[in-house]
């Protein structure tokens, strides 16, 4: 890597941002200033439009990482007497289950292998078997592997059984279609440092207005009380507590670039091309993706690690980083893997460059045996 040159982040967030987005953080903003509050208002409107929720949904921004907003969504949308079904096939589904435990909300899981996804039929069967379930919480793109879960089918099942749906769209919002006008969703949760290509520090919940209005008293926490945050913003245009001003300003610029690019369809097409280029290039080196193409989201790809004794992820990581690219460790427990993100302010040419960097690294390490080690029995 050239001295002083920033590495390209091939992670599911934080991710590489554009120069204009970085530039936006060089100005200081007053948190009560009318011009700053106008930025917040415009962001909320545009985020609702991304999922076609105008007239039915509102956006509530929240300080903190995406997990803060996932917890807030569950704590506010699900009454304390509610029960949540979690179709679980990865690390971030497991995080939702952990949140539910902390919140003291009753819950049950459909446990799936990490390379399989839950179907609407499975969800409907589970709902029919347990009428006490009031909500389903589903991760749209499970970045532990990169698997894409079938949101539309699951939403349809929830609608038929008349239960609410909370969608963790952290790594899909802005890249993959989510249309709340076509299928009912109580809440969609995402964050600034993902596919809109802002910087981390702000989450947001796009929630049905009538659901939010009925949620008063559900929250376990003042800081995460979405109803209180929203009503205060409606009255004052201001955040209740100190907002991440630089993050918000950068997110506005990132959102402007997202819209100028052509919104979700164009952003998704660029990421799909990135993913295709990456998978093809890595295959030419002998790497095998963990997931079949049919269920691979164009967000992050999990690759089996080489079984060669000369390979070690830490050494591999540092050598690829020295060539300008930051990879991501694997999340799986049964097989050794690593992950490469396809999102951020990058294009297919950058993906070709990373394949070249990986090729040079393997040669330097003396890695020749690309066949992965078999999982322990």
Domain borders along the chain are 8-13+263-365, 19-261
- Whether the CB-CB separation of 105 and 74 falls below 8 Å is answered with yes
Pairing type for strands 83-88 and 337-341 reads unpaired
CA 228 to chain centre: 25
CA 247/CA 256 separation, integer angstroms: 14
How far is it, in rounded angstroms, from Cα 30 to Cα 43?
17
Architecture of the 8-13+263-365 domain:
Alpha-Beta Complex (3.90)
Burial 53-68 (b: 16+ CB within 10 A, else e): beebbbbbbbbbbbbb
pLDDT one digit per residue (tens) for the chain, 377 residues: 443 468 999 998 899 999 999 999 999 999 999 999 999 999 999 999 999 999 999 999 999 999 999 999 999 999 999 999 999 999 999 999 999 999 999 999 999 999 999 999 999 999 999 999 999 999 999 998 999 999 999 999 999 999 999 999 999 999 999 999 998 999 999 999 999 999 999 999 999 999 999 999 999 999 999 999 999 999 999 999 999 999 999 999 999 999 999 999 999 999 999 999 999 999 999 999 999 999 999 999 999 999 999 999 999 999 999 999 999 988 776 789 999 999 999 999 999 999 999 999 999 999 999 998 776 54
pTM of the model: 0.94
Q: Are both 8-13+263-365 and 19-261 of the same fold? A: no
Q: What CATH number belongs to 19-261?
A: 3.40.640.10
DSSP string, 129-156: H-TT--EEEEESEETTTTEEP-HHHHHH
């Amino acid at each position: 890597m050239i001295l002083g040159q920033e590495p390209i982040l091939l992670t599911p967030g934080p991710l590489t941002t554009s120069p204009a987005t970085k530039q936006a953080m060089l100005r200081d903003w007053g948190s009560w200033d009318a011009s700053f509050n106008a930025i917040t208002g415009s962001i909320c409107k545009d985020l609702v439009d991304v999922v076609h929720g105008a007239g039915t949904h509102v956006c509530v921004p929240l300080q903190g990482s995406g997990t803060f907003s996932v917890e807030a969504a569950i704590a506010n949308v699900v009454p304390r007497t509610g029960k949540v079904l979690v179709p679980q096939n990865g690390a971030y589904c497991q995080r939702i289950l952990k949140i539910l435990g902390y919140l003291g909300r009753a819950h049950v899981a459909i446990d799936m292998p990490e390379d399989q996804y839950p179907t609407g039929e499975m969800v409907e069967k589970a709902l029919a078997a347990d009428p006490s379930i009031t909500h389903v919480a589903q991760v749209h793109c499970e970045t532990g592997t990169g698997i894409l879960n079938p949101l539309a089918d699951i939403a349809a099942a929830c609608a038929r059984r008349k239960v609410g749906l909370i969608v963790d769209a952290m790594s899909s919002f802005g890249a993959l279609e989510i249309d709340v006008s076509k299928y009912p969703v109580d809440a969609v949760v995402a964050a600034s440092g993902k596919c809109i290509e802002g910087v981390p520090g702000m989450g947001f919940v796009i929630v049905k207005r009538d659901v939010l209005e009925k949620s008063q008293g559900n929250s376990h926490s003042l800081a995460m009380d979405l109803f209180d945050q929203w009503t205060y913003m409606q009255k004052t245009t201001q955040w209740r507590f100190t907002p991440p001003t630089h993050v918000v300003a950068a997110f506005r610029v990132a959102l402007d670039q997202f819209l100028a690019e052509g919104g979700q369809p164009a952003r998704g097409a660029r990421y799909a091309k990135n993913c295709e280029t990456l998978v093809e290039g890595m295959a030419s080196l002998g790497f095998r993706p963990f997931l079949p193409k049919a269920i691979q989201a164009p967000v992050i790809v999990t690759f089996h690690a080489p079984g060669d004794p000369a390979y070690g992820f830490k050494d591999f990581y540092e050598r690829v980083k020295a060539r300008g690219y930051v990879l991501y460790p694997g999340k799986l427990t049964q097989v050794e893997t690593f992950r490469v993100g396809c999102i951020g302010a990058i294009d297919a040419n950058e993906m070709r460059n990373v394949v070249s960097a990986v090729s040079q690294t393997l040669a330097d390490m003396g890695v020749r045996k690309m066949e992965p080690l078999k999982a322990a029995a």
